[in-house]
Structure 1
Amino acid sequence: MRVAAGTPPVLSPRGRTVVLLTCCLSVVVAGLDTTIANVALPSIRQALHAPVSGLQWVVDAYTLVLACLVILAGSVADRFGRRRVFQAGLGLFSLGSLLCGLAPSLGSLVAFRALQAVGGAMLNPVAMSIIATTFAAPAERARAVGTWGAVAGLGGACGPVLGGLLVSGLGWRSVFWVNVPIGVAAVLLTRRFVPESRAARGKRFDPLGQLLVLTFLGPVTAAVIEGPRHGWSSPLIVTLFVVAAVSVTGLAVTASRRADPLVDLRFFRSPAFSGAAVVAVVALLAVGGFLFLNTLYLQDVRGYSALHAGLLTIPMAATGAAFAMISGRIVAARGARLPLVLAGLLLAAGAALLAGTGRETGVGYLVLAYVVFGAGFGLVGTPMTNAALSGMPRDQAGVAGAIASTCRQTGGAIGVAVCGSIVAAGSAGASRAAWTVLAGCGVATVLLGLVSTGRWARARAERSGRLLNRE
């Protein structure tokens, strides 16, 4: 099925449901892959004789490549066809997963993880733009994004549980092979049911812009990942940050002079879009930091196995999925303001509760904290995504969604780096200090939500959208 460029596909309710299901399958594999591999690291170390630094890159290769390519993937999808790029991403991701499971050495495993990420970069932002073009009515779109967000949260949160079961039953290679049948099914469904759509006027390729994005996001992501280990003032880390600063300055200058820049700075005229981008960084910083700190707490302080630790976080996963659905309904009925504020309050409260945990903390207290934090995590995704797309021209949905996804990846990486550096300091109360930082991120989400969704911000977003459409 194909539609004219720039025209939203007209599908039956059943057709739209199948499209949403297909997009959800893609986010399941992508969400699982961000967390499931961590559980297998001890087995990988033993099987491939990998040092700790090598294990770090088994995880980091995926995050780094994904962050660097996700904006390009959204732009290419807008120009050459979202279904085509989405299928290519599913195929590459499935192939990379298969090869990861067959990897004979650490070096090949890291390389195949990078291949996975090339495919992964074509999934979430493109799926988001497919949803945006398929569900044209704002209320219906909000509910669809809520469902998609619930599945995304559930996939990521269930990664540790599923990973523990697979590693204990079938070995570490199975955590990668599990992606393959899901990816193949999604490819077939995409080919059969997802209509092709693209921008009315595709952007020309911006090689300099892409290079500057790579030399900004690559070094800054590597710096926040490696900073705790090498030291924030080490020559390597300082050099990476300098390269990133020069690149982002160059990106701003060149983007303002091109007719079709890769990153269209005009998007940031909209306070709703700018606010959503910053919320994505701050909120996902809290989530990334939570996953890191909670893993250390449950396994190192409490002495739980990886599977036991994963099972204990099921209440958070279930609550996150449920509240993502609720968030979609609230956004459809009331807009993004209320769920963003509630999300920030719950994230702050959950982190504050976890700041008071110790070796002897009762399981009931932990479950309460996980439920509160999970509710905040579930609520934040839909209004954040909806605000990022609000007022944006439909034919730029891919790039807008890609920028939002990049902000999420960056926030998660910063969360791990910041919390890791605090804990690595080894001082008394370091863990409590890290949880306090995450609680502060929740408070910041509240303030940003209030500022970016007010009457003035909404009016500016509508005005920016009209200007973009005319330009």
Structure 2
Amino acid sequence: MVAAYMGASTLLGLTQGMAMNLVTVNIPQISGAIGATTTETTWLVAAYMAPNVSMAIALIKIRAQYGLRNFAELSILGFVIVAILNLFINDLQSALVVRFVSGIAAAPMSTLAFLYMLEPFPSQKKFTIGLSLVLTNTALGPILARLISPALLDIGHWHGLMVLELGTALMAFGAVYMLPLTPQPRAKVISTLDVTSYLLIAIGFGCTAVTLVLGRLYWWFEAPWLGVLLAVAISCVTAAVVIELNREQPLIDIRWLTSPAMLHFAAALLIFRVVLSEQTTGAAGLFQQLGLLNEQMHSLYLVIMAATIAGGLTCAAVLRPGREPYIHVVALLMIATGAFMDSHATSLTRPQDMYLSQALIAFGGVLFLPPALASGLMSALKKGPNYILSFIVIFLSTQSLGGLLGSAVFGTFITWREKFHSNMLVEHLVLTQPHVAQRVAQLGQTYGRVLTDKTLLNAEGLALLSQQATREANVLAYNDAFLLIGAIAAISLATLLGHIAINALRDRRAPGTAAAA
């Protein structure tokens, strides 16, 4: 039965992960299928994430009040129904509605994946082996989505992706109904102010998610509605905080969340999500700029998947209470090394050139999160079960919103640096220089068989030279971004080593101080 529950958790985790990423990694292909531009199609990601980033807050209390079994069965049933609705999408408007509902329906899947993985393990192994394995499954979702998408698009275009989502949902449906979870006592825990606070938080988080997804595309200072969304988000979250601070039994303990220990924990997770955007956004984005598609990067994704699995199994084997800082040292060292290696990319770089660096980042990424989550959960449990919800808010906020923030910051930095490098390169492309004129003439000869007018040939040569300059500027921008990520990881590593050294000195002085006293 242990294997059955672990298999069910894996299935649920991959179902949720692919449901979230099948659209995200195939924006250009989907845009043609629904008759929309790439920017318009990105609204599908925003529509999915808007409700998804805050749903877990409500689900914890819903599960406690209405029972774990009802929660599991109704959640998976709702996900199956929404997966069926995906098959009827034929334009952008219908896709937006269904993806919004999908974001709501998919939120319980990650919770169920956690519960099913922790179910068969004894209590001392739930926070070591259980957490490591379930977080490894979560990390595999984006990789598998990129691996299998090309074949699905060849078979059934947009609907091929949706058929896979429905198939995995139906298998998960059977697993949930065949494998019950241990029932938990019910209690009436939902109050009117809980609903009010949650709605305010949901609006605030949703507006923030939409802004982070679309801000780089519409540009931050050129679309007034982005500022309106941020103003609404700040107002709603502030109102929720005011309500929670004046309640005897708050939905979220704001005072505990703003304690130094929790702020340190949130900052660590947020930095991790920003650093890990090197792999989720950086490497794939670089190769897309170089003209490679997902099917041409299969080997790289296979290497990343193997490294992710190896990292998860390693973490499950070595994770013990007290070892968290040392595991984080190894993880940050691997991520920093991989990022610095990637910062030497050129326009001739191909996926095989990044096998080692991306494997290091994948291994380090999956090695970092389980110790952080385990230590955070233990500190929350020491305070009491009521603090679990507050901890979940920190964890999910830093993972969902932190992931979106990392991608937004990474993409914005690349856009900024690309403009800088483009200006620097174009300044030196002057036709009065002999080598530039010669290069334009060589490129123009590409069209020599179809064009005889020398002026048109020069124009085509200039266009091709401009494309090459833009490509090189993009490569340089990605190198800058990889270097920045490596620097952030290295600074975090140095800070962590300093913290470990200070704690070690304090522990060595403690026995002497006690003896003197």
Common fold: TM-score over 0.5: yes
Kindly provide the CA deviation profile for residues 336-376 of structure 1, in whole angstroms up to 9, marking residues without a partner as x.
Answer: 22222222222222222212111123654311111111111
Distance in 2, Cα, partners of 1:434 & 1:103 = 37
- Look up the match of 2:61: 75
TM-score, normalised via structure 1 length: 0.84
Distance in 1, Cα, partners of 2:273 & 2:149 = 22
- Look up the match of 1:427: 420
Between 1:270-279 and 1:25-34, the stretch displaced more is 270-279
Between 1:16-25 and 1:127-136, the stretch displaced more is 127-136
Q: Which has the higher contact order (CA 8 A, sep 6+)?
A: 1
Q: 1:220: Cα distance to partner?
A: 1.7
**Would the aligned equivalents of 2:132 and 2:312 in 1 still touch at CA under 8 Å?**
yes
The letter of the residue matching 1:413 is L
- Look up the match of 2:246: 257
Q: 1:73: Cα distance to partner?
A: 1.8
Give the secondary structure class of the aligned counterpart of 2:221: coil
2:239 matched to 1:239? no
Closer, same or farther in 2 for the Cα pair 1:47/1:230, shift >3 Å?
closer
Kindly provide the CA deviation profile for residues 83-120 of structure 1, in whole angstroms up to 9, marking residues without a partner as x.
Answer: 43233332222222222232122111121111111111
**Would the aligned equivalents of 2:50 and 2:207 in 1 still touch at CA under 8 Å?**
no
Q: CA RMSD in A?
A: 2.9
- Look up the match of 1:392: 380
Q: 1:123: Cα distance to partner?
A: 1.8
- Look up the match of 1:150: 136
**Would the aligned equivalents of 1:64 and 1:218 in 2 still touch at CA under 8 Å?**
yes
2:397 matched to 1:406? yes
**Would the aligned equivalents of 2:66 and 2:186 in 1 still touch at CA under 8 Å?**
no
- Look up the match of 2:20: 34
Query: Superposition pairs for residues 91-102 of structure 1, below 5 Å?
Result: 91-102=77-88
Give the secondary structure class of the aligned counterpart of 1:360: coil
Distance in 2, Cα, partners of 1:154 & 1:318 = 10
TM-score, normalised via structure 2 length: 0.77
- Look up the match of 1:290: 279
Distance in 1, Cα, partners of 2:495 & 2:161 = 37
Between 1:271-280 and 1:141-150, the stretch displaced more is 271-280
- Look up the match of 2:75: 89
Give the secondary structure class of the aligned counterpart of 1:261: coil
2:311 matched to 1:323? yes
**Would the aligned equivalents of 2:83 and 2:169 in 1 still touch at CA under 8 Å?**
no
Distance in 2, Cα, partners of 1:125 & 1:270 = 26
**Would the aligned equivalents of 1:153 and 1:321 in 2 still touch at CA under 8 Å?**
no
- Look up the match of 1:108: 94
Distance in 2, Cα, partners of 1:387 & 1:331 = 11
Q: Select the residue among 411, 417, 421 that pairs with 2:408.
A: 417
The letter of the residue matching 1:186 is A
Q: Which runs of 5+ in 1 are unaligned?
A: 1-13, 457-471
Closer, same or farther in 2 for the Cα pair 1:222/1:59, shift >3 Å?
closer
**Would the aligned equivalents of 2:119 and 2:181 in 1 still touch at CA under 8 Å?**
no
Distance in 2, Cα, partners of 1:447 & 1:61 = 39
Identity %: 17
Distance in 2, Cα, partners of 1:127 & 1:270 = 30
How many pairs align? 442
- Look up the match of 1:357: 345
Distance in 2, Cα, partners of 1:34 & 1:371 = 23
**Would the aligned equivalents of 1:79 and 1:198 in 2 still touch at CA under 8 Å?**
no
Q: Select the residue among 268, 277, 280 that pairs with 1:279.
A: 268
**Would the aligned equivalents of 1:343 and 1:377 in 2 still touch at CA under 8 Å?**
yes
2:331 matched to 1:343? yes
CA radius of gyration, larger in: 2
Q: Select the residue among 195, 207, 217 that pairs with 1:219.
A: 207
The letter of the residue matching 2:102 is Q
Q: Which runs of 5+ in 2 are unaligned?
A: 422-475, 504-517
**Would the aligned equivalents of 1:77 and 1:398 in 2 still touch at CA under 8 Å?**
no
Kindly provide the CA deviation profile for residues 142-166 of structure 1, in whole angstroms up to 9, marking residues without a partner as x.
Answer: 1011111222222221210111121
Distance in 2, Cα, partners of 1:273 & 1:24 = 30
Q: 1:196: Cα distance to partner?
A: 4.2
- Look up the match of 1:47: 33
Closer, same or farther in 2 for the Cα pair 1:453/1:278, shift >3 Å?
farther
The letter of the residue matching 1:282 is I
